[in-house]
Amino acid sequence: MSSHRIPLLKRMVQAGLLMVAMLVFAGAGDDSARFNDLGHRLMCACGCNQILLECNHVGCSYSDRMRAELVAAVDRGDNDDLTLQSFVQKYGPTVLAAPTKTGFNRVAWIAPYLILVLGLGLVTFIVRAWRSRPLLMPADAPVPVRGAELERFREQARKETEA
Amino acid sequence: MSQIGSFALLLALALSAYSFLGGLVALVREQDTSSARLSETARRAGVATFAVVFLAAVVLVVAAFQNDFSIAYIFHHSNRDLPAPYKFATLWSGQEGSLLFWSLLLSAYGLVLRLRYKTDVRLFAYASVIIAAVQVFFLLLLNFAANPFGVMQGSLPADGSGLNPLLQYPEMVIHPPMLYLGYVGFTVPFAFALSALIMRYPGEKWIHITRRWTMVTWGFLTCGIFLGAHWAYSVLGWGGYWGWDPVENASLMPWLTGTAFLHSVMMQEKRGMLKTWNMWLIFATFGLSIFGTFLTRSGVVSSVHAFAQSSIGDWFVAFLALIFATCVFFYVKNRSHLQTEHKLESLVSRESSFLFNNLLLLVACFTVLWGTLFPVLSEWVQGNKVTVGPPFFNRVNIPVALLLLLLTALGPLLAWRRTSLESLKRNFRWPAIGAVGVGLLLVVMGMRPWRDASYFYSLMTIMLSVLVALTVISEFVRGGRVIGRHTGQNLFASIVHLAHRNTRRYGGYIVHFGVIVIMIGFAGSAFNQDKEMEMGFGDKMTIGPYTLVCRSYTQDDNPNYGSEWAVMDVFKGGKQIDTLYPERRFYKASQQTSTMPRVRSTIKEDLYLVYEGLNQDTGRPILKVHLNPLVGWIWVGVWIMIVGTVVALIPNAVPVRVVAPARMHAEPVGAGD
């Protein structure tokens, strides 16, 4: 049984890796797609707090110029890193719409996933701890439940199944 | 006018201080015979606070209508030609006025609470004292740091500076009140939770009381957030509805923790579990509401929405520290009261699904908080600010949202305590097949998830939304059938009957349905298109299935603003279907310009036109056109969520007990709340 499962699992992992690779490398093609992609990774420097390609700030003196610079960089065939770096040189690090993945900025990306992993660990720990907690019941044979206690159990059952 | 307003604020401070101190002394000296009378006077002082704060708010609004520019706040946020609705909205359009509005809403919530004190006199007395304490803070701010009745120095100006043009939109009249009702409303569940902890309140009655308040508050906050999104979409003219701006984030954080609380509180009600967790969730929700206010008003983060930078940030920091210290103190003192009553019996259970749901909501909240504050942290550590914008938030939060959708689909199928895998498979099979089928259909129709991560996420969102929809529908149908067998009603009547018997559960499902409709709307953004073009008379532009023809462009003038606009005929399939008038305004008082996009909205897509201005060289208008698929679904989804919330607030009908015929087989009806 398990010998059949391993190749299947292998194929699934391979298919998964292929999909991830397709997602990573797909769409790295034409200039307009690159312009669109890079333009959404840059902020307009006018202070409107908007993505470069979405800045519609009336009378904005920056966005037209920045777009023209981006078109020129894409036409020259500058790679993504070089293009973004040239904008950082000119407009400062706040021109990038997201933190880079270098130096201290890496912390920005790592922290949410770290919290997710720690949280998952914590929830798993809590679930295990609760499941292994002994029931508060007498060790000997069960005693029939009557009167107020029975009413309490009924109330509990009602709460858990109705409203 | 300003003297009446200032006096009213001082009187309100005195009354709320008495309500707080008198109530506190009465609770501390509960054994004294005079404490009941003292408590009653404190309660009445709390009631009177509402009347006096209301008077102050009325004075400010009247001053706006009377163009009383001797009051600095009116000078800065109004002008003579401002239309009446915006003069009314002056109350919340600036820093000081909005703090007064906050105080007014808090006193109104306090009024309702204090009038309903007979529900549980002691618990309500504690809650009243806590609300009075919060009220004292806001009234101290209003009296000593941000007085809306401050007077102008020097000669009296002839006219005001006017309201910011971006704020001159009908939603200005309703969005801030909704948002504030949400923010301020979380004070009430916080007050009840802290009261229950302080007095070691026996049982879960306080949870029942709190849940209703929390749902109402959460409903207001939901409306407020989406009204803001709609406003941004309709006015800002960048074609989007959510920009992950710090102020938008500030409203989202308490919504996320409030949503987590609404789910996890069910575990406390039904199983006596997660007591500590729920207590801290509601503390955090209230704390985040205050924190959001701090972010908006302190100038710590830069945002287009933020109020002017001021010194009141220090007040909020001190208040937040005080809240945190109080919560920690009483938690440490009384934590033995929060012992869990039951254990978790299985990983495949409703309880564990709530745990994971809470985890994901809190991770999303942390991500939003982290991304919002990271620029400040970066400046401290590296000495330079960085931008944390949409690419960061989308990349981190979209996978979390997809996992949440998966849990939303699974949750209703899980029973309390334990669910057999067989039953889960049985109930999950057809919805899963349906979701995969829809996914394949979309690929066949031309969706290419491998081309771009955004397409992939879009497809996953739609598939998971279908999964949730099918599980929700199957829950209604299965339950309706059982009711129908017992009562002989048709399926629709049975479903209505079923929902009325457990409004909270089925109202919750309707809310979930609204959420997935919204998510489908979000998924459409992966396929947005836009074009920009200078257009003269008769020029054409084609985007998607639409052809736009510029029929004319012209100008107009009124006392409040001058405007330029284009007249654009919209054709589809060779037939004219509409005429749109995108506009650009120049507001005279504030000397600022603003765009007024025009949107042709259908359930399939929005055609969104922005008049960007005249080309100075050619004298012809520049138009930007967006084609945004599925945006209309977002607004429909919000209405569904509101309906669901209202249904969940309706009291349950008493079940009609019908003796089932012998040997009648009944299928399992869901799994409780």
Ordered by where they begin, the domains of chain B are 1-163 (no CATH), 166-401 (no CATH), 420-501 (no CATH), 527-632 (2.60.98)
Which of B363, B373, B382, B385 to probe the A interface (max A CBs under 10 A)? B363
Task: Answer yes or no: is pLDDT of B284 > 80.
Answer: yes
Q: What does the pLDDT look like over B296-336, one tens digit per residue? A: 877 666 665 555 556 788 899 999 999 999 999 999 998 88
| pLDDT score for A33 | 80
**CA–CA dist B67, B589 (Å, integer):** 13
CATH of domain A27-98: 1.10.8
Of A56, A111, A130, the CB nearest to B344: A130
CB–CB of B369/B255 below 8 Å?
Answer: no
* Residue B635 pLDDT > 60: yes
Interchain contact B402–A (C-beta under 8 A): no
Identify the band that residue B662 occupies on the pLDDT scale cut at 50, 70 and 90: very low
Mean residue pLDDT across chain B: 88
Judge whether residue B656 has pLDDT over 60. no
- Could you tell me if A27 and B452 are in contact, meaning their C-beta atoms sit under 8 angstroms apart? yes
Structure confidence by residue, pLDDT tens digits, A70-91: 999 998 888 889 999 999 999 9
Chain B nearest CA to A161, separation (Å): 5
Mutation target among B450, B506, B594 for the A interface, most CBs of A within 10 A: B450
CA distances from A116 to A58, B129, B632 (A): 41, 38, 33
Which of A26, A49, A131 lies at the smallest CB-CB distance from B343?
A: A131
List alpha helices for B95-162, DSSP H: 95-115, 121-144
Q: Among A26, A109, A120, whose Cβ lies nearest the Cβ of B451?
A: A26
For chain B positions 408-427, those within 8 Å of chain A (CB to CB) are: 416-417
Residues of chain A in contact with residue B501, where contact means CB-CB under 8 angstroms, are 163
Give the 3-state secondary structure of residue B578.
strand
Q: Which ranges in B488-571 belong to alpha helices (H)? A: 491-501, 503-523
- CA A135 to CA A40: how far, in whole Å? 56
Q: Which residues of B touch A80 (CB under 8 A)?
A: none
Chains A and B form CB pairs within 8 A to the count of 150
Q: What is the pLDDT of residue B15?
A: 96
Which residues are bridge partners to B596 per DSSP? B583
The C-alpha atoms of residue B47 and residue B503 are separated, in whole angstroms, by 32
Task: Read off the pLDDT of residues B226-243 as tens digits, 9 standing for 90 and up.
Answer: 999 998 888 876 667 888
The reply to whether residue A56 touches residue B610, judged by beta carbons under 8 angstroms, is yes
Interface of B with A in 311-330 (CB under 8 A): none
| 0.90 surpassed by pTM | no
Please give the average per-residue pLDDT across A42-66, as a whole number.
Answer: 79
> Where does residue B7 rank: exposed (0-12), middle (13-18), buried (19+ CB within 10 A)?
middle
Render pLDDT for B110-119 as a digit per residue (tens, 0 to 9): 999 999 988 8
Degrees, nearest 5: CA angle B614-B618-B619: 40
Q: With CB atoms and an 8 Å threshold, state whether A99 touches B344.
A: no
C-alpha distance from B386 to closest chain A C-alpha (Å): 5
The Cα–Cα gap between B375 and B291 comes to 17
Residue reference for tokens 């949503």: B259
Residue in B239, B270, B304 nearest the CB of A54: B239
Q: In what order do the strands lie in the sheet with B598-601?
A: B529-534, B621-629, B605-614, B598-601
Rounded to 5 degrees, what are φ and ψ at B423?
-65, -40
B479 interaction partners in chain A (CB closer than 8 Å): none
> Any chain A CB within 8 A of the CB of B452?
yes
Mean pLDDT, residues B630-647: 95
Residues B584/B595, Cβ–Cβ less than 8 Å: yes
Tokens of A134: 């002994």
Residue B572 has a CB neighbour count (10 Å cut-off) of 14
| Contact flag A160-B340 (C-beta cutoff 8 Å) | no
Q: Which residues of A touch B240 (CB under 8 A)?
A: 54
* Block residue for tokens 């107020």: A148
CB-based contact A50 B238, cutoff 8 Å: yes
Of B116, B235, B117, B121, nearest to B167 (Cα)?
B235
Is residue B167 scored above 60 in pLDDT? yes
B590 and chain A: CB distance < 8 Å anywhere? Answer: no
Token readout for B39 is 């408590």
CB B262 within 8 Å of CB B211: yes
Residue B652: closest CA among A159, A113, A118, A71: A159
Is residue B130 within 8 Å of residue B194, measured between CB atoms?
A: yes
- Under an 8 A CB cutoff, do B378 and A105 touch? yes
Amino acid B669: pLDDT: 40
β-pair partners for B575: B572
Are B502 and A163 an interchain contact pair (Cβ–Cβ within 8 Å)?
Answer: yes
B77 Cβ under 8 Å from any chain A Cβ? no
The dihedrals phi and psi of B127, each to the nearest 5 degrees, come to -60, -40
Instruction: Give chain B's end-to-end CA distance (angstroms, integer).
Output: 54
Q: What φ, ψ does residue A92 adopt, rounded to 5°? A: 90, 165
Mean pLDDT of B417-437: 85
Structure tokens at B65: 């209508």
Among B562, B604, B607, B558, smallest CA distance to B580 is for B607
Name chain A contacts of B362, Cβ cutoff 8 Å: 119
ipTM: 0.81
CB A43 within 8 A of CB A74: no
> How close is the nearest chain B Cα to the Cα of A3, in Å?
25
A24 vs chain B: nearest CA distance in angstroms?
8
**How much is the average pLDDT of B353-381?**
93
